[in-house]
Amino acid sequence: MLENGHYWRNRERREHVAVIEGEVSPTLVLKNGTYFNGYTKEWLNKNIWILNDRIVYVGDKLPEQYNEETEIVDCTGQFLVPGYIEPHAHPSQLYNPENLANHVAKFGTTTLINDNLTWLFLLERKKAFSLIENFNQLPISMFWWARMDSQSALQNEDEFLDSEDILSWISNPSVIQSGELTSWPKLLAGDDRLLYWMQESKRLGKPVEGHLPGASESTLTKMKLFGVSADHESITGEEVLRRLRLGYQVGLRHSSIRPDLPLLLEEILAEGITSFENFTMTTDGATPAFYEHGMMNLCIEIAIEKGVPLSEAYQMATYNVARHFNLEEQIGSITPGRIAHINILKAKDNPHPVGVLAKGKWILREEKEWEREPVIDWEKSGINELEFDWDLTDSDLQFSIPIGLDMMSNVIIRPYAIETDVTLDVLPGNRSDAFLILMDREGKWRVNTTLRGFTDRLGALVSSYSTTGDIVFIGKSKYDMKIAWKRMKELGGGIVLAHEGKIVFELPLRLGGMMFRGDMTALISKEKQLKKLLKEYGYKYDDPVYSILFLAATHLPYIRITQQGIIDVKKRELLVPAIMR
């Protein structure tokens, strides 16, 4: 006897066939459009029939009969391509997954494959699974990864990486890959538990995404033997080709922190590459303003401009991704049985759509957005405003250690010997040293040091947005730190700047202290304001949001401030332990 789900699926499939037989009317017909067939790489003038969320017919015919509810759209002179797919989304970089998905869908990205790390920090497994199931109600297709490491050094590492939890994530039907694997040095050092999780992922037909910046041929070969399927960390054409020749699916990155795509394409095209089926493109969790004008549409535009053949440019953001994740029966092409993710273009070489369908529903129609009610009930899902039952004290603002963190770029940090007098209440403005504290969100521990290169005069920045969800304090003035901290508590989470006794900026992050509750347009405006202000206060790099986020990220060189204390990343040594409060 079939289970209820199989009965339902069988009925749905028979209904699809009944449309072809003229017994059921399609809900939508796109007629006379020129569509891209990814299997033959042809542009063909055909009619497309859709029933609810599925494409049921692509061909010369029009339905012989249809009812008054069938929508007929004449696409004469227009070009239809599959909805774009982002293969490597970090969906909570200030934005939340729902407002990100709704925003980028207007520009044609109708599928996101998402990092689950935020849910590991904010929710227990049962609630997290319920939440990701709720995302299936969106017209945008939402899939997930299963992280196998924390990307930092935690006080409760074994509890966080509970094997039962990790294996449950890997086997969840909404999870389609494992990774990204930032803890690969542990694998090389003999971590068989990690290797077992990878093998289990591969057994289930789910690829493993690497995170291998600067890896040598030897390291890449070893990781391939361990089972890593793909990597998106190439920063030169040579690194791209090295991965490709070893059998990796290669993601070409174009993000706010690493906008590498133009150069990567120039260099691989110069090498004579003509086959692109093992390439994808990713924006790798860019910060909000980077998405002002879309997501994968921008990557496709760059690929076309750099000389990638038109069909290959679209394939890199559609079918190539679907095939890699074993989703080609669901998404990535305009063929019968696929989810009706379709972008309508004015011209073949213009990837910015004038119409967008997601699961057969209009997201954008004749360049006008269709309004939709929110789907996710965040409170019911367990994602709420932060509440603190502890306060910042004078003893928390005592600094005495000799080692500080010196910013060399947005995210590369070296150790330095502190020479500034850190017993002062306000650090001198002629130096770029600032106080730095990482404080446990529950107030149980703290790590105090200095950060050089982030600001030369800002009184204070306090942020609940961080790698691990703990609280970051940066600034020249202990008094301003207290003011910014008080306001951040009142907001229930966020990023707050204080200077000379006044609040000069605030960004509420009322969803777990990590995510904005509002539309992307408002968030983009706030992020631009934050970046402008921080530059005025001495920030000299490009992406302050990532600078804050990655202070505790141990997959980057050379030194980090973590829950355990200050860590030498390369040596994996604890230089200064956290202090219990």
231: how many CB neighbours lie within 10 A of its CB? 28
Phi (first) and psi of residue 30, to 5 degrees: -100, 110
Q: How confident is the model at residue 8 (pLDDT cuts 50, 70, 90)?
A: low
Q: How confident is the model at residue 293 (pLDDT cuts 50, 70, 90)?
A: very high
Chain segment 495-535, per-residue pLDDT in tens: 999 999 999 999 999 999 999 999 999 999 999 999 999 99
What's the N-to-C CA distance of the chain in angstroms? 60
Chain segment 172-216, per-residue pLDDT in tens: 999 999 999 999 999 999 999 999 999 999 999 999 999 999 999
Chain segment 34-47, per-residue pLDDT in tens: 999 999 999 999 99
Chain segment 212-264, per-residue pLDDT in tens: 999 999 999 999 999 999 999 999 999 999 999 999 999 999 999 999 999 99
Task: Examine the pLDDT at 1 and tell me if it is beyond 60.
Answer: no
pLDDT for residue 229: 98
pLDDT for residue 397: 97
Locate the DSSP E strands across 376-430.
Answer: 403-407, 413-417
SS3 43: strand
pLDDT for residue 7: 63
Comparing C-alpha atoms, which of 145, 279, 251, 151 is closest to residue 207? Answer: 145
CA pair distance 188, 167, nearest whole angstrom: 21
CA pair distance 490, 311, nearest whole angstrom: 52
pLDDT for residue 67: 87
- Kindly report the pTM of this predicted structure: 0.97
Contacts for 520-524: CB closer than 8 Å, 24+ residues apart: 520/95, 520/99, 520/100, 520/102, 520/103, 520/288, 520/291, 521/103, 523/94, 523/95, 523/99, 523/288, 524/288, 524/289, 524/291, 524/292
Residue percentage of the chain with pLDDT more than 90: 94
Whether 228 and 208 have beta carbons less than 8 Å apart is answered as yes
Residue percentage of the chain with pLDDT more than 70: 99
Given phi > 0 = left and psi -120 to 50 = alpha, else beta, which region is 36? beta
Task: Examine the pLDDT at 6 and tell me if it is beyond 60.
Answer: no
Task: Examine the pLDDT at 4 and tell me if it is beyond 60.
Answer: no
Work out the mean pLDDT of the chain and round it to a whole number.
Answer: 96
The predicted model gives 157-177 an average pLDDT of 95
CA pair distance 436, 451, nearest whole angstrom: 6
The predicted model gives 329-346 an average pLDDT of 98
CA pair distance 26, 23, nearest whole angstrom: 10
The predicted model gives 286-306 an average pLDDT of 98
CA pair distance 463, 565, nearest whole angstrom: 18
Q: How confident is the model at residue 368 (pLDDT cuts 50, 70, 90)?
A: confident
pLDDT for residue 159: 86
Locate the DSSP E strands across 27-140.
Answer: 28-37, 42-51, 54-59, 71-74, 79-82, 84-89, 109-114
CA pair distance 199, 111, nearest whole angstrom: 26
Whether 552 and 389 have beta carbons less than 8 Å apart is answered as no
CA pair distance 470, 465, nearest whole angstrom: 7
Chain segment 68-105, per-residue pLDDT in tens: 899 999 999 999 999 999 999 999 999 999 999 999 99
SS3 268: helix
SS3 403: strand
Comparing C-alpha atoms, which of 222, 219, 251 is closest to residue 234? Answer: 251
Q: How confident is the model at residue 372 (pLDDT cuts 50, 70, 90)?
A: confident
Helix (H) or strand (E) holding 378: helix 378-381
497: how many CB neighbours lie within 10 A of its CB? 28
β-strand partners of 89: 114
440: how many CB neighbours lie within 10 A of its CB? 19
Whether 559 and 413 have beta carbons less than 8 Å apart is answered as yes
CA pair distance 459, 478, nearest whole angstrom: 8
Helix (H) or strand (E) holding 252: strand 249-253
